[in-house]
Amino acid sequence: ALLENLPRLPELDYVPTAKYEEAPIEEVLHPLIAEASVILVAGAYFGDEGKGKTVDAIARHPEVKVVARVNSGENAGHTVFGETGHKYDFHLCPSGLLTPGKVNMIGPECVMDPVS
């Protein structure tokens, strides 16, 4: 009953006017990698934010040498596709595990479940 008389929020009526397009990795991500000595992919929320896919894209760059997972425990799974198109769900391993020539590390702050 308390919510019935509240005015509608104007933000709910927003209609986008621009067309959104996905930018090529080489155009956006590669310049960032070239300028940085370290790239951190941090999550703002728990759950599916695309962190694993972002790390996988970064790991494929030839200048990237190390991919690390530094803290936390197992998750629902970072989905990564191998060279043959096979789908993998990594629950603890860094998403760069399938990228040839990369060093993958799991930090001391990670919680490992020996059963899974």
Active site residues: 48, 78
Answer for the pair 32, 71: CB distance below 8 angstroms, yes or no: no
Instruction: Please state, in angstroms and rounded to a whole number, the distance separating the CA atoms of residues 7 and 4.
Output: 9
CA atoms within 13 A on the CB side of 7: 3
